[in-house]
Amino acid sequence: MSKSASLPQPNAGIMDIEVYVPGKSAVPAGVKLHKLSANETPLGPSPKAKEAYVELADRLEDYPDGSSSELRQAIAAAHGLNAANIICGNGSDELLSLIMQCYLAPGDEAIYTEHGFLVYRIGILSAGATPVVALETNHQADVDAILSRVTDKTKMVLLANPNNPTGTYLPMSEVRRLHEGLPENVILVLDAAYAEYVRRNDYESGMELVAGSSNVVMTRTFSKIYGLAALRIGWMFGPDHILSVMERVRGPFNVNAAAQLAAIKALDDRETIEKAIAHNDEWLVWTTERLTELGLSVTPSVGNFILIHFEPGSDKSAAGADAYLTARGYVLRRVGGYGLPDAIRMTIGTEEACRGVVAALGEYLKA
């Protein structure tokens, strides 16, 4: 017997997972960093949230509320929901992983779209299930393509709406059509991490669909517009019978006390949220227009980021642009792992950062 054969063996599917690589944040020494690789808000969190975080320093010896009861009540009040149908997690990523752990098993299949969030594939394989990819149309989820991949083995469909890294979205009419086409035993997971940024009349995060269905859940996060990414805090809205299953495997203190208190205060600070929305509305449009004027193709986005495309095989490549920008302190995100080797994703940052990236890319294209 070989030495490797005698070692402990991981579950099936685990070694098929490529290790998730977060957005980089390093630039040459002496160069000012503009981190535009992780879709973080450039305005930071609510001052009220920061105050709550600091005040907790006097109570670090206490365990947090194991059920996040006050936070769930605050979320319910803010969105007009029933707190009993909310579960909180260590970021929405934990909740996505939990629901896959609870409802997927070897032999099952789960569907996500061609350029969907990498965490979906990781969670599906971790559960021993088979990931199934549905092709997108113009970097947008395609309902017919998703439904065409449904088989009697399908147990879950995961849809990021808006999607990361493309920034595209499905109108609610299409989301409903997707749901109507799924068997009742298939769970539709709506990942609405960027919902607060969307300004389209035909968009909904999915709350009403969840409330009226037995097989739909929606996840949200405090990492994006609320600026609490460092604290890892997210939530899910779903039917009783699904959340009851997840509560059985959720860690008893999975959400730390600082995250709970900061999130409650962040929800109550509409002024900070409105400022973040207004900033994104202005600079998303400005940056898209300026880059388009340079001759670059930019996927229309409703999130707080844009996907910038470079001509395949050109001497002005995505890799070259990324290196050129990084040398000047502008750190964007390569998205080859999402099947987009000729594109880079840019978070909408400060005015200084947006103007700087546009100027630097103009120089790069002319060089």
Give the chain's residues under pLDDT 70: 1-5, 20, 23, 25
Do residues 153 and 39 lie in contact, with contact meaning Cβ atoms separated by under 8 Å? no
> At 203, which CATH number?
3.40.640.10
pLDDT digits (tens, 9 = 90+) for 104-159: 999 999 999 999 999 999 999 999 999 999 999 999 999 999 999 999 999 999 99
* Amino acid 2: pLDDT: 59
At 4 the pLDDT is 63
Q: Are 200 and 259 part of one and the same domain?
A: yes
pLDDT value, residue 11: 86
Pair (246, 293) in one structural domain:
no
**Could you tell me if residue 248 is inside a domain?**
yes
Same-domain status, 144 and 210 = yes
pLDDT score at 58: 92
- Say how far apart CA 92 and CA 71 lie, in whole Å: 15
Q: What is the pLDDT of residue 337?
A: 93
Query: Is 192 a domain residue?
Result: yes
What is the tally of structural domains in the chain? 2
Number of neighbours of residue 241 by Cβ within 10 angstroms: 9
pLDDT, residue 279, reads: 98
Do both 260 and 276 map to the same domain?
no
Give the structural domain span for 52.
47-267
- Report if pTM > 0.85: yes
